[in-house]
Structure 1
Amino acid sequence: MKLIEDIIRFLETRLEEFLRAHPEIELQALDEQLRQQEEDTRRLLQESRAQKQDLSKSLSKLGEEIKTWHFRIEKAEQANRPDLAEGARRREAELLQQGSRLFNQGKSLEEKIRQLEALLPQIAQRRQEVQTKLQEVKAAQAKTAAERVSPWEKLFEEDKLEEEFRRLEMRLAVDKELDDMKKKVGEQKRR
């Protein structure tokens, strides 16, 4: 077990070093996590809204049932049937308890929906910050890369300049040599 733990620690250390050396990869991973979190939050929000809508329908239906049993209580009392009235009261009480539970679930869902709605812009803002930072890191890396290339380009330009001067000097030397030879040939012809 100690060997495995050492290997895991070594790999984690190497990964951290790699990420420090390549911050754009870490930022891309963070952006992906935030994108996934935003997607999950949107999905949860949609599901919660659908649950709230279903719960509202259930509460409405339950309210109708409670009304029905309340009228049955009154009918049983008018018909002088205390046994039926008592049974209807028990049923009405059960439905009221069920309604109370559903109402509390609805309140919890409303709070969850509010929290999710508040979370979405926060995630979007954080993701925008990460993307901005990622662009800055990439721009800095491009600038650094350009700076690294520039001295080489400058060296090549200097080499080109040096080569041009050598050609010029060689041509001038050849031209002078030709002039000297022409003079010698001209002198020999005169003799």
Structure 2
Amino acid sequence: MGLFEDLSKFLETRLDEFLKANPHLELFGLEDQLRGQEQDAIRLLGDLKRREKQLEDSILATAQDIQRWHERIKNAQAANRLDLVKAAQEREAALLRQGNQYWGQLKGVKDQIEQTRTLQKEIHDRRRELKAKIAETQAQRTAQRTTSWDAGWAKSPFEGSGRGSMDPLEKSFQQWETEQELEELKRQMGRS
């Protein structure tokens, strides 16, 4: 257990260091997290809408039962069957209480639907803002790469071949390889 925890902490530290060195990748992680939250909100909305429909159906069925028992009370009173009247009145009262419970639950579900819609919209808006930020960051990075690429090609073939400098293609490959390492770290952490 100790070895596993040490390895997990090591991987988390490495991931944190990697994200600090590549902040644009953290934006992708946040966007992914927001996408998951938005999907959860949409699923919850679907569940709440189904529950709302069930409660509406239950209220309608209860109202029909109340109406039927109300007619039975009238009929029993007209026939002077007082033994049935009292029992029917108790049944009608129980159905009224049940209908009120359904009504209260329906009100709660409608409130939850409204809150969930608001939350889903907020998440959607934050996600849209984050996507714009990602696009802006990618455009800046592309511009930086293009500038360094152009600068690299402007040199003579023998310039910058020393160990201290790096050509644009090398930078692109190193960046891509770094991103691949991050994905591998994420996969490994997901398995733990």
TM range (shorter): 0.7 to 0.9
Unaligned runs of at least 5 residues, structure 2:
160-192
Letter in 1 for 2:37: Q
Spell out the pairing of 1:131-170 with structure 2 (5 A cutoff). 131-156=131-156
Partner of 1:92: 92
Letter in 1 for 2:16: E
Q: CA deviation at 1:2?
A: 3.1
Q: CA deviation at 1:27?
A: 1.7
TM, length-normalised to structure 2: 0.73
Is the contact between residue 23 and residue 137 of structure 1 (CA under 8 Å) also seen in structure 2?
no
Q: Which structure is larger by alpha-carbon Rg, 1 or 2?
A: 1
Unaligned runs of at least 5 residues, structure 1:
160-191
Could you list the per-position Cα deviations for residues 91-136 of structure 1 after superposition, in whole angstroms to 9, with x for gaps in the alignment? 1122112112211110111001101221222111101111111112
Is the contact between residue 77 and residue 85 of structure 1 (CA under 8 Å) also seen in structure 2?
yes
Partner of 1:108: 108
Could you list the per-position Cα deviations for residues 46-91 of structure 1 after superposition, in whole angstroms to 9, with x for gaps in the alignment? 3322321232122112111111112222222232222211211221
**Secondary structure of 1:61's aligned partner:** helix
Letter in 2 for 1:19: L
Higher helix share: 1
Q: CA deviation at 1:158?
A: 9.7
1:65 aligns with 2:65: yes
- Percent of residue pairs bearing the same amino acid type: 38
1:42 aligns with 2:12: no
Letter in 2 for 1:35: R
Partner of 1:32: 32
CA-atom RMSD in angstroms: 2.1
Deviates more, 1:108-117 or 1:39-48: 39-48
Letter in 1 for 2:31: D
Counterparts in 2 of 1:67 and 1:33: CA distance versus 1, 3 Å: same
